[in-house]
DNA sequence: GTTCTAGAAC
DNA sequence: GTTCTAGAAC
């Protein structure tokens, strides 16, 4: 075989003859003057690393002994680690073998320890970069089945997308003696042939081979996940292709903005100083990665009523800040006399929103750092539905400032945007906006239109308009939280690579994944209800208006089951579902569990229908119930230490009688069927018991800010916050998502696991 | 809370 | 044709 068959200079022949190579073995490797080789394969999932390694292991070879060290398989079913790979590589090298390192190795940091290993044992360390187009890797990884590391399907697309964004091209200065780039299958085959022909005494020429200059990697996850909608079907605003859609009436005057120097409308101080002070006060130093600057949506060209809009902004901000501790939001407007800024500022103050976590800012959103002293990595764009540059206002300004990179990157992510949704676009590092202002992500967001001169005018239907505007801000903030969360995780945890959280496009309405994810959609099985073992004539009816009931909600007969249980637990004591009965509460398995473990602790206090009725005097009861919850969670953890529990109340429960949910966070249950189920446990609708107790202790009542609207929100993974188009896709995702939980859940014992409860998990 | 089912989405 | 959602009924 001619290893250089194609005559490509990228694939050199071994410098020593491969003919008649001596027999294999560590001694032979030394004798021939050739060295053992550690081949560091560099490439994302789907690039063909394993195929490459297998082809050499299975090839006829020239007598060299090879070992494959593969992170996907080294954990014997569990996720492998870099440490395991390092050890296996060191062992193989000690045995005189050459090593094929089969892991992604895309980042310099991920490669560094293996290069150190190579220098310690005096072997040549080569990099073979499987530099195939992103779309090829994504397509392969999405479509493959039976992958060793179980990275396939839609999840794989997101992982590949994310990993490629972080790719750092190997350099000789890292310590490689040789780096070879393979751009297609043909070049990969030549490289395989070359290593197959490498006898124990052969060595390959040092240097770089096959590299071509390339622009920044533009990966297009949405090409594989999203099917572009036809214009007829789109429910978004429709304009003819030639129309432009300016978002704001006031055209930017950049010169003016710069001179304004970004002054906060409230305090006449220099903004830079103020921002810095605030950062020192209560915000961590790396706050820029957790700051979102956003313009007011829909209030300029789309003519949304400013008073209503300001209510919605403050409400949406309030919700997201309650949910996430460690983020900062900045509403930006160009005008010193901005009415929306002053309305929002007043309402935020009235609502006691922490002014260091939410602020208003006068300035140009494209020059926040250079001219305003405000560091933030993420800015929102008031986009048009076609996600095109032009028009006027914020959209034009951001596209102008970001250059062609933004247009290109946006096209890779999505084609259109519907009112009420958002899409995250990573801004290439080549963009001037990235380089000058440090902006790493743009989140395009589209709000409702009230302007009859613009398409899809809602004709003053503020019921619909307000709903859409709220959805737009919620989607924007959730998209931002996903970025901030990932940024936080990346800093904390550099391995294993495949376990890093992923962020995709964050608009459920625009996200159209290909079908094919497996999901067990069996029709509902009938669950056996708890039946009282006494005649039902003892069951009371019409108790809703009994004195002592403070909430005004009326309960249907079906919603009274827990109340009946709490008042007469003795009637149910033979039921398998009842786990414990005390004077204060009854513990039972939820009849329709939404996770592997899901139990309810039902208060027995008459008059407490839901959290809305709870006052300071009920604190001891709440603490008793909480302790019981912790006890039962601990009991379940003793049976299965892999579970993670959350204890909390529904803001507006369906069933009468105060009850605490203890629910494992796998959400692996056939009873979890719809959006309402999911969102009732994973949004602000679910109030953690620890927070409820604290709020009641401090303010005398629970803060029930969420209502039914949050139950209709987009489906997001409770761990990585990625959005999913429907329940089966979501379930398929959460079954595999290994991202750590959002930051706020990791605080204050909101999550109970074998590690937080200091249990022996061996 | 669930079940049922029409019709939208694929 | 099948899958999935959402709203009505209970």
Find residues whose C-beta atom lies within 7 angstroms of strand B.
A 512, 515, 524-527, 556, 558-559, 591-592, 650, 653-655, 671, 673, 677, 680, 725
Instruction: Check residue A213 and give its pLDDT.
Output: 41
Whole-angstrom CA distances from A475 to A421, A481, A549, A576, A580 are 6, 10, 37, 42, 41
Which segment of A82-91, A100-109, A514-523, A722-731 scores lowest on mean pLDDT?
A514-523
* SS3 per residue for A377-426: CEEEEECCCCCCCCCCHHHHHHHHHHCHHHHHHHHHHCCCCCCCEEEEEE
Q: Is residue A274 part of a domain?
A: yes
Same domain, A488 and A584: no
pLDDT of residue A131 exceeding 60, the answer is yes
Q: How far is the CA of A523 from the C1' of B5 (A)?
A: 13
Range of the domain at A543: 536-753
Q: Is A553:A610 a contact under the CB 8 Å cutoff?
A: yes
Same domain, A255 and A181: no
Q: Which nucleotides of strand C come closer than 7 angstroms to any CB of the protein?
A: 3-6, 10
pLDDT of residue A335 exceeding 60, the answer is yes
Residue that is last in its domain, among A184, A209, A234: A209
Same domain, A488 and A343: yes
Tell me the percentage of chain A whose pLDDT exceeds 90. 36
pLDDT of residue A680 exceeding 90, the answer is yes
Helical H segments across A217-376, by residue range: 221-225, 254-260, 271-282, 306-323, 339-350
Q: Please state the rounded mean pLDDT for residues A20-24.
A: 34
Q: Which nucleotide is nearest to A517 (CA to C1')?
A: C3
Q: Is residue A18 part of a domain?
A: no
Which segment of A236-250, A403-417, A440-454, A663-677 scores lowest on mean pLDDT?
A236-250
Q: Which nucleotide is nearest to A728 (CA to C1')?
A: C4
Residue that is last in its domain, among A209, A231, A261: A209
Q: Is residue A217 part of a domain?
A: no
Do you find a cis peptide bond into A152, omega within 30 degrees of 0? no
Same domain, A200 and A59: yes
Residue that is last in its domain, among A454, A476, A499: A499
Which segment of A599-608, A644-653, A751-760 scores lowest on mean pLDDT?
A751-760
What is the domain-level CATH number for residue A142?
A: 3.40.50.300
Same domain, A434 and A541: no
Q: Could you read off the pLDDT of A381-418 as tens digits, one per residue? A: 999 888 888 888 899 999 999 988 898 888 877 777 87
The number of domains in chain A is: 3
Closest CA relative to residue A465, chosen from A322, A706, A473, A416 = A473
Find residues whose C-beta atom lies within 7 angstroms of strand C.
A 519, 521, 556, 558, 673-675, 712, 726-728
Beta-carbon-side half-sphere exposure of residue A335 (alpha carbons within 13 Å): 13
A758: confidence class by pLDDT, cuts 50, 70, 90: low
Closest CA relative to residue A295, chosen from A271, A277, A313, A275 = A313
Which segment of A108-122, A532-546, A633-647, A719-733 scores lowest on mean pLDDT?
A532-546
Q: Please state the rounded mean pLDDT for residues A183-200.
A: 85
Q: Which nucleotide is nearest to A561 (CA to C1')?
A: B1
What is the domain-level CATH number for residue A746?
A: 3.30.428.10
Burial class (CB in 10 A: 0-12, 13-18, 19+), A361: buried
pLDDT of residue A239 exceeding 70, the answer is no
Q: Could you read off the pLDDT of A580-630 as tens digits, one per residue? A: 999 999 999 999 999 999 999 999 999 999 999 999 999 999 999 999 999
Same domain, A301 and A397: yes
Q: Is A151:A162 a contact under the CB 8 Å cutoff?
A: no
Q: How many CB atoms lie within 10 A of CB A617?
A: 9
Q: Is residue A518 part of a domain?
A: no
Q: Please state the rounded mean pLDDT for residues A212-233.
A: 32
Same domain, A341 and A487: yes
Which segment of A553-567, A638-652, A667-681 scores lowest on mean pLDDT?
A553-567
Which protein residue has its CA closest to C1' of B10? Answer: A515
Q: What is the DSSP letter of A215?
A: -
Q: How many CB atoms lie within 10 A of CB A16?
A: 16
Alpha carbon distance A35, A23 (integer Å): 15
Q: Which nucleotide is nearest to A674 (CA to C1')?
A: C5
Q: How far is the CA of A457 from the C1' of B9 (A)?
A: 25
Q: Is residue A516 part of a domain?
A: no
Which segment of A93-97, A654-658, A752-756 scores lowest on mean pLDDT?
A93-97
Q: How far is the CA of A608 from the C1' of B6 (A)?
A: 39
Q: Could you read off the pLDDT of A451-493 as tens digits, one per residue? A: 887 777 888 888 888 888 988 998 898 888 878 876 765 555 5
- In the predicted model, what is the mean pLDDT of chain A? 76
Q: Is A466:A685 a contact under the CB 8 Å cutoff?
A: no
pLDDT of residue A664 exceeding 50, the answer is yes
Same domain, A389 and A260: yes
DSSP code string of A525-567: PPPPPP--SS-GGGS---GGG-TT--------GGGGHHHHHHH
Q: Is the alpha carbon torsion for A69, A73, A76, A80 positive or negative? A: positive
Q: What is the DSSP letter of A197?
A: T
Q: Is residue A442 part of a domain?
A: yes
SS3 A245: coil
Which protein residue has its CA closest to C1' of C3? Answer: A521
Q: A625 has which bridge partners?
A: none
Q: Is residue A444 part of a domain?
A: yes
Q: Contacts by A663-666 with C-beta closer than 8 Å and gap 24+? A: A663/A594, A663/A595, A663/A597, A663/A598, A663/A599, A664/A595, A664/A596, A664/A597, A664/A598, A664/A636, A665/A595, A665/A718, A665/A741, A665/A751, A666/A595, A666/A596, A666/A734
Q: Which nucleotides of strand B come closer than 7 angstroms to any CB of the protein?
A: 1-4, 10
Same domain, A251 and A123: no
Same domain, A448 and A584: no
Alpha carbon distance A483, A502 (integer Å): 9
Catalytic residues of A: 659
Q: Is residue A153 part of a domain?
A: yes
Same domain, A176 and A280: no
Q: How far is the CA of A509 from the C1' of B8 (A)?
A: 14
Q: Please state the rounded mean pLDDT for residues A686-691.
A: 96
pLDDT of residue A130 exceeding 70, the answer is yes
Same domain, A291 and A413: yes
Instruction: Check residue A345 and give its pLDDT.
Output: 93
Residue A467: which H helix or E strand, with range? helix A462-492
Number of H helices, E strands in chain A: 22, 21
Q: Please state the rounded mean pLDDT for residues A296-315.
A: 93
């Amino acid at each position: 075989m001619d290893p250089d068959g194609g005559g490509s200079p990228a694939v050199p022949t071994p410098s020593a003859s491969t003919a008649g190579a001596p027999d294999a073995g560590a001694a032979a490797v030394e004798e021939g003057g050739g060295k053992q080789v550690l081949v560091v394969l560099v490439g994302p999932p789907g690039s063909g690393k394993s195929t490459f390694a297998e082809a050499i292991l299975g090839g006829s070879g020239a007598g060299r002994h090879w070992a494959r060290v593969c992170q996907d398989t080294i954990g014997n079913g569990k996720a492998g680690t870099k440490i395991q790979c390092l050890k296996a590589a060191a062992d193989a090298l000690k045995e005189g073998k050459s090593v094929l390192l089969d892991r992604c190795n895309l980042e310099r940091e991920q490669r560094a320890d293996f290069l150190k290993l190579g220098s310690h044992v005096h072997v040549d360390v080569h990099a073979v970069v499987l530099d195939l187009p992103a779309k090829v890797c994504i397509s392969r990884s999405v479509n493959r089945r039976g992958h060793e590391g179980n990275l396939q399907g839609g999840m794989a697309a997101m992982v590949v997308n994310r990993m490629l964004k972080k790719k750092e091209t190997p350099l000789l200065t890292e310590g490689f003696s040789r780096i070879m780039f393979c751009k297609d299958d043909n070049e990969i085959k030549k490289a395989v042939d070359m290593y197959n022909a490498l006898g124990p005494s052969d060595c390959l020429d040092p240097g770089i081979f096959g590299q071509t200059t390339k622009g920044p990697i533009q990966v297009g996850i949405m090409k594989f996940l999203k099917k572009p909608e036809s214009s007829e079907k789109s429910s978004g605003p429709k304009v003819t292709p030639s129309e432009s859609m300016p978002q704001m009436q006031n055209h930017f005057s950049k010169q003016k903005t710069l001179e304004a120097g970004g002054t906060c409308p409230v305090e006449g101080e220099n903004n830079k100083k103020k921002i810095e002070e605030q950062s020192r006060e209560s915000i961590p130093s790396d706050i820029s990665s957790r700051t979102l600057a956003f313009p007011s949506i829909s209030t300029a060209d789309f003519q949304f009523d400013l008073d209503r809009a300001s209510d919605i902004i403050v409400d949406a901000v309030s919700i997201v800040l309650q949910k996430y501790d460690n983020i900062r939001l900045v509403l930006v407007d160009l005008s010193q006399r901005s009415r929306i800024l002053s309305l929002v500022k007043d309402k935020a103050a009235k609502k006691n929103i922490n002014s260091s976590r939410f602020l208003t800012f006068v300035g140009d959103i494209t020059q926040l750092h250079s001219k305003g002293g405000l560091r933030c990595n993420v800015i929102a764009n008031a986009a048009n539905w076609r996600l095109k540059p032009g028009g006027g206002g914020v959209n034009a300004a951001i596209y102008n400032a970001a250059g062609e990179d933004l247009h290109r990157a946006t096209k890779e992510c999505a084609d259109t945007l519907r009112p009420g949704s958002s899409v995250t676009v990573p801004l290439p590092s080549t963009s001037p906006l990235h380089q000058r202002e440090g902006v790493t992500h743009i989140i395009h967001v589209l709000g409702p239109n009230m302007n009859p001169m613009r398409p899809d005018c809602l004709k003053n239907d503020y019921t619909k308009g307000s709903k859409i505007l709220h959805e737009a801000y919620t989607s924007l903030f959730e998209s931002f939280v996903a970025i901030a969360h990932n940024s936080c995780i990346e800093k904390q945890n550099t391995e294993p690579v495949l376990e890093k959280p992923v962020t995709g496009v964050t608009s459920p309405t625009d996200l159209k994944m290909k079908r094919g994810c497996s999901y067990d959609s069996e029709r509902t099985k009938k669950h056996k209800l708890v039946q009282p073992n006494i005649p039902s004539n003892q069951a009371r009816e019409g108790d809703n208006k009994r004195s002592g009931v403070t909430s005004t909600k009326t309960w249907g007969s079906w919603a009274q089951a827990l109340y009946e249980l709490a008042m007469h637990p003795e009637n149910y004591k033979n039921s398998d579902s009842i786990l414990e009965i005390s004077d204060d509460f009854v513990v039972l398995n939820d009849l329709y569990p939404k996770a592997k473990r899901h139990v309810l602790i039902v208060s027995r206090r008459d008059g407490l229908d839901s959290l809305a009725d709870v006052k300071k005097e009920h604190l001891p009861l709440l603490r008793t119930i909480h302790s019981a919850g912790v006890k039962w969670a601990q009991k379940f953890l003793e049976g299965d230490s892999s579970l993670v529990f959350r204890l909390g109340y529904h803001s507006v429960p369906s069933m009468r009688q105060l009850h605490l949910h203890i629910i494992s966070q796998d959400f692996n249950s056939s009873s979890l069927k719809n959006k309402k189920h999911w969102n009732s446990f994973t949004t602000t609708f679910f109030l953690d018991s620890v927070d409820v107790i604290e709020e009641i202790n401090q303010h005398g009542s629970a803060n029930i800010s969420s209502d039914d609207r949050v139950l209709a929100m987009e489906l997001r993974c409770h761990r990585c916050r990625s959005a999913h188009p429907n329940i089966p896709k979501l379930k398929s995702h959460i079954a595999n998502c290994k991202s750590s939980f959002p930051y706020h859940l990791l605080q204050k014992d909101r999550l109970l696991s074998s590690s937080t409860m200091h249990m022996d998990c061996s």
